[in-house]
Amino acid sequence: MIKISKIEYYLPELVLTNEDLEKEFPEWSSERIEEKIGITQRHISADNETVLDLAVQSSEKLFENYDRNKIDFILFCTQSPEYFLPTTACILQDKLGLRKNIGAIDFNLGCSGFVYGLAFAKGLIATGIAKSILLVTSETYTKHLNPKDKANRSIFGDASASTIIEKAENAKGYEFCLGTDGSGAENLIVKKGAFKTDFELNPNNEFGAEDLYMNGPEIFNFTIENIPGLIKETLAVNNLTMDDIDHFVFHQANSFMLNYLRKKAKIPAEKFYIDMAKTGNTVSATIPIALKNMMDKGMLKAGDKILMAGFGVGYSWGATILEI
């Protein structure tokens, strides 16, 4: 029912390498970082560079070969917005010079954001509300990180991905499987910055309430406990088997987690795509960046079926099938 017509992404100019981290934290080895999480470098937004700046860059790359006047809805996914209000999507409409008779909304999701964005786009297109949707997944998570937080600084990078979603004529519509478990909210959180004031810090949090806190072991356990079942459910509701899928593209959290997850879900290694070495974990942008890189490498052909799965902060998770 829907198709991805184009994807472009933008990475900030500033690069933080494993060697840079090793200089700041001599007790760490750059080789060990790469071995453990599969990342050699990540791009970091400048102090005066925001998700809107990144989104403009990735979207303008799209419009080099796509008529911007066709866009009739903007979906903007971020957890580091320009302002509390107005929505970043509204400002992006003006910055890009898009028509004024279009819809534009922000939604606050992390690593499941791209899959949720596709689900929203499917609904908008199926009901005739929109025909050509600009889905932007733009994140500057590094602004949430304490400078002394070597663990999270080794994982996260900043990026924006812009995707055009349109109706696919005479194509099969694949179902989505979405999930939520708010009981895990405390395990990946920035407590200070909005309007709640009566909060306590997790006793394991060595940094401030305004800094991102991630309970790595709990996030790992959540993923391993829930995502293999998500894959089975997604295949079942679409009447497909593992053999029917040509590629599996998951949220690029870190290579250790992904490889463990692949083995537990019994996914063949040759079908499982990992691509984060030069970008790190860019949150909601990881899946579209991976898809764009696969396209550029000539890895995808007409008719290929891709199972995409996003999972993380919330807890929130989602999966669907995309056919090229």
Tokens of residue 12, six digits: 């900030």
Let me know the angle formed at the C-alpha of 254 by 25 and 34, rounded to the nearest 5 degrees.
Answer: 45
- Annotation marks residue 221 as catalytic: no
Q: Is 266 exposed, middle or buried (0-12, 13-18, 19+ CB in 10 A)?
A: exposed
Q: Tokens 């295949």 sit at which residue? A: 235
Q: Do strands 103-107 and 73-77 pair parallel, antiparallel, or not at all (unpaired)?
A: parallel
Active-site residue, selected from the candidate residues 238, 247, 251, 254: 251
Active-site residue, selected from the candidate residues 187, 238, 254, 281: 281
Which segments of 175-243 are extended strands (E)? 177-180, 188-189, 213-214
Active-site residue, selected from the candidate residues 43, 111, 177, 187: 111
Q: How many whole angstroms from its chain centre is CA 177?
A: 17
- Annotation marks residue 293 as catalytic: no
Angstrom distance (rounded) from CA 311 to CA 173: 22
- Annotation marks residue 202 as catalytic: no
Tell me how far CA of residue 35 lies from CA of 31, 39, 107, in angstroms.
6, 8, 34
Q: Looking at the annotation, which residues are catalytic?
A: 111, 251, 281
